Structure 1
Amino acid sequence: MKPGAPSLQSTRLLDQVRERVRYMHYSLKTEKAYLYWIRFFIRWSATQSGGMRHPRELVVADVEAFLSMLANERKVSASTHNQALSALLFLYREVLGIDLPWLNNIGRPQQTKRIPSVLTKDEVAGLLAQMDGVTALLARLLYGTGMRLMEGMRLRIKDVDFERQAIIVREAKGSKDRVVMLPRSLAPALRLQLLAARAQWEADRQVQRGGVEVPHALASKYPKVGDTWGWFWMFPSPTLSVDPRSGVERRHHLYEERLQRALKKAVAAAGIVKPVSVHTLRHSFATHLLQSGTDIRTVQELLGHSDVSTTMIYTHVLKVATGGTASPLDALLSV
């Protein structure tokens, strides 16, 4: 157990990992990833040594051999490799309370810095024209604000301010809040979506369904806060689901794969050959803002980047897209 952290109540190792992850308020996605890699590491080590051993008994050679296997045999990407290492570091430091010197000496693979795929304004218009319904509204919202996929999906009623034409993005990457613009052109459609969400909320209240999920210990302090209108989802799911942590059946926000599938179909219908994901809308938002003359610090704040160097990648996209440097071939042929 790590000094300063509360004692773990669970006895099984993986349950202890869950307990510590939740105490530190990590996301469910992180919890699942860490459990996967820790379970994988233990089972793989057992196949190498001929028997199951507790991670306390494993040494630096075991960890390095596991990471080498991922890189050389499984050929995982640098980001996946780093995720596996982070899971093991979490296990030893946060769960087992072991901060061995060799943990700090295990190198992380360098991730390749790639220029993001960005759509032109015409391509964005063509893509959005192929979409309809709530997924079309979501795609327009993500492009129009620069929000990440889950930031848009988790949008609450209370965080959409029509009067100030602003949207508050809560607990974004790095657990930071930020404010983005509410596109004027989307206000009518968002108001209609709000009415649809209101009808769903009222129907849930009439049958006394469990309220929506609220962050951290807020539900313990205010038991009925999840039932209130302000905390309801702007994009609620049409069906109920069971919360994997609490086991409570409640209404979640719209499933993210619904937008991903709709976008994939729209890309094909629009005849776009570039690699496009939902995140491409965010890349295009930033690039088009810089292209229109918005200063990079403003774009940094809208995207929620901690360091302006992260935002600078879009200036590289602009250099290529605008053809700022003439090719010597063009000068030769113009003679």
Structure 2
Amino acid sequence: MDTYESELRLFSMWMKNRGMTKATQHAYLCDTRSFLHSIYPASLDEVGKVEMMGYLSQARERGAGDESRNRKLSSIRTFYKSLVEMDRLHLNPAAVIAKSKQEKNRIPVYLEEDQLEALFEPMEGKYAARNMAILCLMAYAGLRVGEIHRLNRQDLTQDGSLHVLGKGRKWRIIPLPDILHVHMRQALEERIEPNKSKEEAFFVSQFGRRLSIRMIQAIAEEMFAKLKQKNPDLHAKKLSSHKLRHSFATMQIRSGTDIRTLQELLGHSSIETTQIYTHVDNKQLKHAMNNISGKIPGLRHRDVREEMPT
């Protein structure tokens, strides 16, 4: 793989100069290395659409779905784009490969409001204030794990607004509810003293460093495990920190928040991404269908319940 190390270094430098997050850089490099392994030892200027389609087909055979396949294609496109911009290549053959059509309006997994309340009940221990604030930001402000990881002390203003650095390095402002502002202030008061004097991370680990993404996920996983012990019905449900973001969006839709406002709160670049949450509430669908029950021919003057199969 030493054959491509020069190009990979250029790609890494290009991504850093574009301001991509470390997580994005890592993901793109992993996918790109996997692709380069599949074409080794061919020269990059000899590789075309056929070789790329072959790699993506192999990924399919190994179980990659539409989302995973499209992510790999995006990584390859970006890799070649960087080399074109750096004058190492003249063409980007990945640019002409179409993305797979993904399943739309897939119903996201989320927790009901009473389940969320139960999730927070056992919150205790030395880091309770910190962990409470973290989970509240996911469940009641819709933040992503990476956004919580990147939060700095100055991102919380005196009036309770939270400045969030989201995907694509785009900032958004979330006016926190008073009670959530109180949780955030308490977490700040009990914040562990960082090892480095210049460390501005809002959430700090027990070792005095910025709380890692994996540790934030682990905090959520521990609470989910406790929740499942009390709610056997949730055992089959795949819960993760991102499901709390889904729960926030679901609550907003049920409360009557319009789709454009929810898009801003979630930091979605496309409203299509936000629209999946308009399909999650079966109660609203049932209510809508009941509106026409009296208009169905032949049933208007009869008691349907008496003729329902048992």
State the TM bucket, normalised to the shorter chain.
0.7 to 0.9
TM-superposition CA deviations, 1:61-100 (whole Å, max 9, x none): 21111111111x2121212111211121122221244453
Structure 1 residues 292-315: Cα deviation after superposition (integer angstroms, max 9, x where no partner): 233333222211223333322222
Contact 1:267 1:276 in 2 (8 A): no
**AA of the residue aligned to 1:130:** P
Once residues 48 and 36 of structure 2 are traced to their aligned partners in structure 1, the CA distance between those partners, rounded to angstroms, is: 12
Structure 1 294/141 Cα, relative in aligned 2: closer, same or farther at 3 Å?
A: same
Matches within 5 A, 1:12-91: 12-46=6-40, 52-71=41-60, 73-91=61-79
Mapped pair 1:268 → 2:228: yes
Aligned residue number for residue 152 of structure 1 = 148
The reply on whether 1:130 has 2:153 as its aligned counterpart is: no
Give the superposition deviation at 1:144.
Answer: 1.6
* Structure 2 Cα separation of the partners of residues 43 and 84 of structure 1: 13
How many angstroms does 1:139 deviate by? 0.8
The equivalent of 1:168 in structure 2 is 163
Q: Which runs of 5+ in 2 are unaligned?
A: 294-298
Contact preservation (8 Å) 1:16, 1:95: yes
Output the CA distance in 2 between the equivalents of 1:321 and 1:268: 27
2:286 alignment partner, SS class = coil
For 1:58 and 1:69, how far apart are their aligned partners in 2? 16
- Superposed structure 1 runs of 4+ greater than 4 Å apart: 319-322
Q: Could you tell me which residue of structure 2 aligns to residue 222 of structure 1? A: none
Query: Aligned residue pairs: how many?
Result: 282
Q: 1:296 aligns with which of 251, 259, 274?
A: 259
8 Å Cα contact 1:138-1:152 kept in structure 2: yes
What is the RMSD computed on CA atoms of the aligned residues? 2.7
Per-residue deviation at 1:322?
A: 5.8
After TM superposition, the score normalised by the length of structure 2 is 0.80
User: Which residue does the alignment assign to 2:244?
Assistant: 281
Any unmatched runs of 5+ in structure 1? 1-9, 47-51, 206-210, 213-231, 241-250
Change (3 A) 1:298 1:107: closer
SS of structure 2 residue aligned to 1:239 = coil
Cα pair 1:151 1:169 within 8 Å, conserved: yes
What residue in structure 2 maps to residue 258 of structure 1?
218
SS in 1 for 2:163: strand
Q: Distance in 2 between matches of 1:60 and 1:175?
A: 31
Identity %: 28
Q: Distance in 2 between matches of 1:233 and 1:42?
A: 36
Per-residue deviation, 1:257: 3.1
**Residues 274-329 of structure 1: per-residue CA shift (max 9 Å, x gap):** 3322112111112212212333332222112233333222221124566222497x
